[in-house]
Amino acid sequence: MRTWITTGRGAMASEDELIEQRLAKRERLLSMSDAYPARVSRTHTAAEAVRAFLDAGEVENQVAVTVVGRVTAQRVMGKAAFLDLRDQGGRIQLHFRRDALDDFEHLDLVDLGDFLEVTGSVFRTRMGEVTVAVASWRVITKALRPLPDKFHGLSDIEARYRQRYLDLIANERSREIAFTRSRVVSAIRRFFLDRDFLEVETPVLQDHAGGAAARPFLTHHNALDRDLYLRISLELHLKRLLVGGFERVFEIGRVFRNEGISYRHNPEFTLLESYEAYADYHDVARMLEELLAYVAQDVLGATELVHGEHTISLAPPFARITYRQALLDHTGIDLDAHRSVESLTQVALERGVRPDEGASWGTVLDALMSEFVEPNLIQPTFIFDYPTELSPLAKRKVDDPAVVERWELFALGYELANAYSELNDPVDQRERMAEQAAKKSGGDEEAEVADEDFLVAIEHGMPPAGGLGIGVDRVVQLMTGERSLREVILFPTMRERQGERPHEHPGDAGDAAEVDAARTDVSE
């Protein structure tokens, strides 16, 4: 009868039985009325109902409410029952009495997880809980699968990520993180809009995945019979908009990098990039200080936050140190004294850092920074003036062409943001893209590709500008105090489970055939 319900992990008798019982209750509900009405009433949320009762001086039978939500607990005592009803913002207790309800017995058809619409008046129980004395009620959604344990919740981390909806039902902390993330993104957006930045959207599907050093995902457009890459950054299109005359633009968007998955890395993550004409990287640094302080104040109500054993202060100004000085301070290496790969590799080896075969000067520097400097940058710290070799899109320092006007902001030992005085000399840009292209053909999969269309764009003139990139997920991590990136991403990328198939639905066999036919049509 119900062969179309699968457990998703192969048939398991007892789970099937639970579903079977709930299906039978659904049938009984449907035979009496609708268990899935399209329209429901609601006069108060749970929190509003409590508030209204308090505001009315806690007089019983005075405050009439209609509330809706999910049943999360049932305490049935023969001729009376208490149910907990939860909505997005809170929970309220319901009291059902046999002598007050014709349909009291129909509570047998209600399971944990069902949604109810309930009308009644608010009172306070002997035990002190504000409660709705139910005068009428109905099921507005019958659930077929049981919820996680009402007391222990859902603690299996894999289940929490794969079935985040259960995590959100069971774990208050997961809800908090999701709310905080939303507030962080809203605050960031408001900050830029308030400063007259134009919010734009640029292509995810691109001919060249440029603007960062990372391996892209490849996809295919059927009608054009053409491969496309998923973007790895927002940079090159936003700069085209500077050429087009916009002076302040930003985008908050998902980018995709075809790299390892870990608690610090998800293949798709949210990047914010902004570009401001006639600003330089010092201006951008000051703006970022204001931004982070603003977001922290807005979301947390303070510019200090506790993250594990550390108390982080986001009150401007942040520490500033040059790349060269930071390396000198933490390793004793003066990069100006080791301008050749051979010399630098030698001092790296002396400190136990073994660069990859054929590593370039910049790559060795990067390894030294990652090993000795970055982990120590707990309080927000700007590292200024990067080696040109590592920064093909940033403007050179006038007094030292081996260094560019670029900074990265670190906190808690990892990178939060990255900014340049943007390179707008098309001749220099063309040369540096050519260098990257040479590296790429030399086997460096993360080297940038030359983007001719972009070069043509800036040959029309791009104004001097300061650009910024922020890892939004990491800002959320910072603001929530979470250690794992997967806790701040609602649906983190997971491996495919072995033998897992999409849940089947009625008529699946026929639908599948139609889909196949449709595909054939498209490919012709």
Partner RNA sequence: GGGCCCGUAGCUCAGUGGCAGAGCAGUGGACUUUUAAUCCAUCGGUCCUCGGUUCGAAUCCGAGCGGGCUCACCA
For RNA, the binding residues in 203-222 under the rule CB under 7 A are 212-214
How many residues at the interface with RNA, by CB under 7 A? 85
3-state secondary structure of 470: strand
Which positions from 284 through 313 interact with RNA, judged by CB under 7 A?
A: none
Query: Are 424 and 465 spatial neighbours (Cβ–Cβ below 8 Å)?
Result: yes
For the bound state, the minimum distance from the C-beta of residue 39 to RNA, rounded and expressed in Å, comes to: 27
Which positions from 217 through 256 interact with RNA, judged by CB under 7 A?
A: none
Query: Are 439 and 256 spatial neighbours (Cβ–Cβ below 8 Å)?
Result: no
Which positions from 335 through 354 interact with RNA, judged by CB under 7 A?
A: none
Task: State how far the Cα of 250 lies from the Cα of 189, in Å rounded to an integer.
Answer: 9
- Answer for which of 415, 428, 435, 444 binds RNA (CB under 7 A) is 415
- Answer for which of 87, 389, 473, 482 binds RNA (CB under 7 A) is 473
- Answer for which of 27, 34, 108, 452 binds RNA (CB under 7 A) is 108
Q: Is position 496 an interface residue for RNA (rule: CB under 7 A)? A: yes
Task: State how far the Cα of 353 lies from the Cα of 136, in Å rounded to an integer.
Answer: 72
Q: Is position 114 an interface residue for RNA (rule: CB under 7 A)? A: no
- Answer for which of 131, 424, 436, 480 binds RNA (CB under 7 A) is 131
Residues forming beta bridges with residue 182, ordered by sequence position: none
Task: State how far the Cα of 478 lies from the Cα of 428, in Å rounded to an integer.
Answer: 37
- Answer for which of 121, 141, 303, 484 binds RNA (CB under 7 A) is 484
DSSP collapsed to 3 states, 490-514: CCCCCCCCCCCCCCCCCCHHHHHHH
Nearest CB to RNA, comparing residues 39 and 495: 495
Stretch that binds RNA, among 104-112, 220-228, 284-292, 502-510 (CB under 7 A): 104-112
Task: State how far the Cα of 179 lies from the Cα of 523, in Å rounded to an integer.
Answer: 43
Closest Cα partner for 50 from 124, 112, 137?
Answer: 124
Q: Is the peptide bond before 401 cis (omega within 30 degrees of 0)?
A: no
Tokens of 121: 């008046």
Q: Is position 370 an interface residue for RNA (rule: CB under 7 A)? A: yes
Nearest CB to RNA, comparing residues 277 and 344: 344
Nearest CB to RNA, comparing residues 93 and 274: 93
The side-by-side arrangement of strands in the sheet containing 205-206 is 205-206, 226-230, 218-221
- Answer for which of 434, 438, 494, 518 binds RNA (CB under 7 A) is 494
| Secondary structure letter of residue 79 according to DSSP | S
Which positions from 24 through 53 interact with RNA, judged by CB under 7 A?
A: 25
Stretch that binds RNA, among 14-22, 29-37, 306-314, 317-325 (CB under 7 A): 14-22
